[in-house]
Structure 1
Amino acid sequence: MDSGEVLAAHHPHGRQRPASLIKVLLALVVLDELDPEQIVVPTQRDADQECSCADLEAGSPYSVRDLLLATMVKSGNDAAHALAGALGGVDEALRKMNALAHELGATDTRAASPSGLDGPGMVTSAYDQALLFTHAMTNPQFAEAAGVQRMMFPGGRGEPPHPLVNNDRLLDEYPGILGGKTGFTSASRHTYVGAAERDGRRIAVVLLRAEQRPVQVSDQARSLFDYGFRLAAEGVPAVGRVTTAPPQPQAPVRTGEARADGGGTAEAADARPAGSGGSSAVGWIVALVILVSVGVGVGIALSRDERV
């Protein structure tokens, strides 16, 4: 996470649904724009969001800090929706989220809901999730929230606080874990992004469209962390880089015209997605010691029935 090197990757720019990983992007906008002590009063629509939920009480006051923690710890869709309202409403929150993603270079990502519940056009990639999470972890408030295993959330209308427990099993089980975010919907399947530190190295792992087989996804993630640390210790050459610098636009080239860099015709160049094989892939698969992996049977949800 400090060098930007991608140690291993599979289909890093493949378009997948993020589920609750999109809450990382929401958190970045919230931390940029809202005072942690600002009070938000959720609407009934906020409270009625499809769960997982923090059990907000419509009409009761909550601080932005508590709502953000509930969004990260419990993956509360109700808390995420309330934060979107504080940002100017869902449409405005999505506009800000998508603008920030593009500004940071996460051009595979489009948020269609602030919580990660599936919506038309909702999409991300492993590359983008590595980029966004690594950038988010540079913010001390986000890094703290991402590592919280348990919190007491204020009760509504004078009720006592109630506990919210993080579904990320690695927070309790993996030595050196720094934090993470889990997700699940029926369309996205299991998703995960997290970071850990060992011997002075910090590595991030991303998993999209995963299943709880052949072993539980938490065990798959644990194995990938171990694999990444082993690759880093052995000095294995990077296969690319992650960077928050957006790709530079290229001058248009007429179909069939040879490229100035000798890379073939424009047709061939345009047909090859960013991050595909060849030296041009390294051109802008370019941030941190990161292990990125996506694939069938490789993933994490660390929750048994989390909706996003």
Structure 2
Amino acid sequence: MGMKFVSAVSALALAGGLTLVGPAPARSASDDTAPVGGALLGRRGVVVDPAAKALPKTEASAFVVADADTGEVLAAKDAHGRFLPASTLKILTAVTLIPKLDKAKIIKPSAEACNVEGSAVGLTQHRIYRVHDLLRALMMVSGNDAAVALAEANGGLARTLADMNAEARRLQALDTVAKTPNGLDKPGQSSSAYDLALIARAGLANADFREYVGTKVANFPAPGGKHYEMANHNRLLGRYPGMIGVKNGWTTKALGSFVGAAKRGGHTIIVSIMRHEGSFWEEVKQLLDWGFASRGHVAAVGSLVQPVPEARPTKPVGGPPGAPPVARAATPAPAASGQNSPLLGTGALVAAAGLLGGGLWIAYGVRRRSRRRGRPLPPSP
């Protein structure tokens, strides 16, 4: 899709075909890089192909509608605007910790975990909780206490936050900074509608993640061998056709945020919204409907990029008898279709040579340029 996407966007831009509502963010003279996912996603207003059916109205300060299968962003508003994420940050917590923690591990939460403010599943200091139970509570009922307990199981808050921020960078969610594992407001914490869609897409590729965000009702352990029932906070589960999950959030400073994914006819649409002052459920339904009706029929305005590729180890090759082997850089894996076009400003391979112990070694690395400039968080309401 790479060059095809660039050509389509260029043609539309030259013809004035893309609807751009609102001013473009200011750029410095030295800022020659495009935002992650494409230059149009740096706009603060709405970006959409005018050939598409009219977008539903939403009171959200930012949103993204994307095709999860192709990665195409079908429409967006202030996609890279940085806002407080509230509990939608728990999507990153889950994506980070699911591969790291044994689901069957039994843990005893600390007093600190049990007494976290805000939404909670009601942990007590008993060794009765499996990681599996806590991940359910994290994504179903937005347990702030479960988030801290999971962080403790991962080696503590400091380590978990480092892991979360490293995972955000790996996914190229560069607007996202985690200061808590549960999304409770903290200075410096941020995400964007683009990043939330990107992180949710990564989560949906994991079967355990899909189970946690898609479970409507489940039992949760209580002391004395008892249990109680918890129900998913996502009001669209079971009410919107094909709804998969994912997560909602709200604080008085962040206001409402939500990431939802639904599947119909073998295709999945993701909608993310941030900073909504009221009830957003009906608006999300309409945005999902628009996404299903528009996918495959409109020009994309950007794309959800692939994670940063892992560097492959060097492969030794033969040399003169008795000489040290020469290391040859492994060929990087090709990018998935549509994820690394020239518009995305992805890095270039850099080669360097040096003499080590009389032998010639060649190494390579990937240089990634900063794809966005941060904007300050909006003032608290």
TM-score range, shorter chain: 0.7 to 0.9
Is residue 241–residue 284 contact of structure 1 (8 Å, CA) maintained in 2? no
The one-letter code sitting in structure 1 at the alignment partner of 2:235 is R
> How many residues end up aligned between the 2 structures?
248
Could you say which residue in structure 2 is the equivalent of 1:283? 344
Q: Quick one: distance in 1 between partners of 2:342 and 2:81? A: 14
Counterpart in the other structure of 2:30: none
> Quick one: which of 80, 86, 90 aligns to 1:13?
80
Q: Which has the higher contact order (CA 8 A, sep 6+)?
A: 1
Query: What residue number does 1:201 align with?
Result: 267
d(CA) in 2 for partners of 1:40, 1:30: 15
SS of aligned partner of 2:238: helix
Match of 1:87 in 2: 154
Change (3 A) 1:162 1:281: farther
Partner amino acid for 2:231?
Answer: V
Structure-2 separation of matches of 1:33 and 1:149 = 25
For normalisation by structure 1, the TM-score amounts to 0.78
Structure 1 runs (4+) deviating above 2 angstroms are 244-247, 280-285
Change (3 A) 1:142 1:284: farther
Per-residue Cα deviation, 1:145-187 (whole angstroms, up to 9, x for no partner):
11011111001x2152111111111002100111110100111
Displacement after TM superposition at 1:104 (Å):
1.2
Q: Deviations over 1:54-105 (max 9, x none)?
A: 0111133200000000000010000111001111111111011001100111
> Aligned partners of 1:196 and 1:282: how far apart in 2?
28
Please point out which of 134, 148, 153 is paired with 2:220: 153
Once the two structures are TM-superposed, the CA of residue 31 in structure 1 deviates from its matched residue by 1.1
User: Where does the alignment leave 5 or more consecutive residues of structure 2 unmatched?
Assistant: 1-67, 310-340, 347-381
CA distance in 1, matches of 2:259, 2:342: 23
Match of 2:302 in 1: 240
Tell me which protein shows more helix as a share of its residues.
1
Match among 272, 290, 300 for residue 227 of structure 1: 290
What is the CA RMSD across the aligned residues, in angstroms?
1.7
CA gap of 1:159–1:55, structure 2 versus 1, over 3 A, is farther
Unaligned residue ranges in structure 1 (runs of 5+): 248-279, 286-308
Give TM-score, length-normalised by structure 2. 0.63
Residue correspondence of structure 1 range 1-308 to structure 2 within 5 A: 1-155=68-222, 157-158=223-224, 160-212=226-278, 216-232=279-295, 235-246=297-308, 282-283=343-344
- C-alpha distance after superposition, 1:192-250 (max 9, x if no partner): 001001222110000000121xxx311010011011111115x1111110113349xxx
1:84-129 superposed Cα distances (whole Å, 9 cap, x missing partner)? 1111111111011001100111111000100000112110011111
CA displacement at 1:28 relative to structure 2: 1.5
Give the greater-gyration-radius structure (CA).
Answer: 2
